């Protein structure tokens, strides 16, 4: 299972349309449909029930979608732990704990601040275990993704989906390459992406 497949599936669910999701993800409709079928095959379950040109999200699909977003692990001693979800604004009073190597700390903090909108102070841990120790001791909250792949949080930690407005926060992933390593296919992709962005800007 690839991160991009999770992103494509989440986009289809949120847009309610393969066409709109494909445009949002800058790929063709047939490609996004194929990626989701591949994902379903790997998981061994049907995520979307397709009928003619419409679809509904299956129970398995709803569960899987809930695992694709961004969550906050907080101490059960925190008053927020009694809620079903938490809003980004409510977390700004708590330090944000990031799992990162020393070299990546600046980039991670910048991403969470500027792209995801996490404010406040930041603490860093070099492993999930150390990050969760900070959570249990009430030092802050730990933002996590793809919760299905993580070990259980334990009895002293509560895991809540993070919302901004009426949508759960989703982390998007990007790919970068060195200019000197560019080739025909990368240049074609970059040109196509540029045209799509310009088209969207002019709409």
Neighbours of 92 (CB within 10 A): 13
pLDDT in tens for each of the 203 residues of the chain? 455 787 788 888 878 899 988 987 888 999 999 999 998 988 888 999 998 888 999 988 887 776 667 889 999 999 999 898 899 899 988 999 999 899 989 988 988 888 778 888 999 999 999 999 999 999 999 998 755 556 777 889 998 888 887 777 765 545 556 666 667 666 666 667 666 656 655 55
Q: Are residues 100 and 88 part of one domain?
A: yes
Tokens matching residue 9 = 């599936």
Domain that residue 84 falls in: 69-170
At a CB cut-off of 8 Å and minimum separation 6, what does 36 contact? 5, 8, 9, 12, 47, 48
The DSSP symbol for 159 reads: E
CATH number of domain containing 11? 1.10.10.10
Claim: this prediction has a pTM higher than 0.75: no
Q: Are residues 158 and 80 part of one domain?
A: yes
Q: Are residues 31 and 112 part of one domain?
A: no
Q: Are residues 102 and 19 part of one domain?
A: no
Nearest to 140 by CA among 128, 152, 122: 122
Q: Are residues 126 and 57 part of one domain?
A: no
């Amino acid at each position: 299972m690839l991160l991009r497949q999770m992103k494509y599936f989440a986009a289809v669910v949120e847009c309610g349309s393969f066409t709109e999701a494909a445009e949002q993800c800058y790929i063709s409709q047939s490609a996004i449909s194929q990626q989701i079928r591949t994902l379903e095959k790997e998981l061994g379950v049907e995520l979307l029930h397709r009928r003619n040109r419409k679809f509904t999200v299956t129970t398995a699909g709803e569960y899987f979608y809930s695992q694709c977003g961004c969550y906050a692990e907080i101490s059960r001693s925190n008053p927020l732990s009694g809620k079903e979800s938490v809003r980004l604004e409510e977390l700004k009073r708590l330090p944000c704990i990031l799992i990162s190597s020393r070299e990546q700390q600046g980039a991670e903090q910048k991403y969470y601040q500027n792209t995801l909108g996490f404010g406040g102070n930041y603490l860093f841990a070099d492993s999930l275990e150390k990050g969760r120790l900070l959570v249990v001791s009430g030092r802050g909250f730990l933002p996590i993704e793809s919760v299905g792949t993580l070990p259980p949080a334990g009895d002293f930690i509560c895991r809540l989906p993070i919302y901004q407005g009426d949508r759960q926060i989703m982390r998007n992933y990007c790919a970068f390459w060195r200019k000197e390593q560019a080739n025909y296919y990368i240049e074609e992709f970059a040109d196509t992406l540029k045209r799509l962005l310009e088209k969207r800007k002019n709409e």
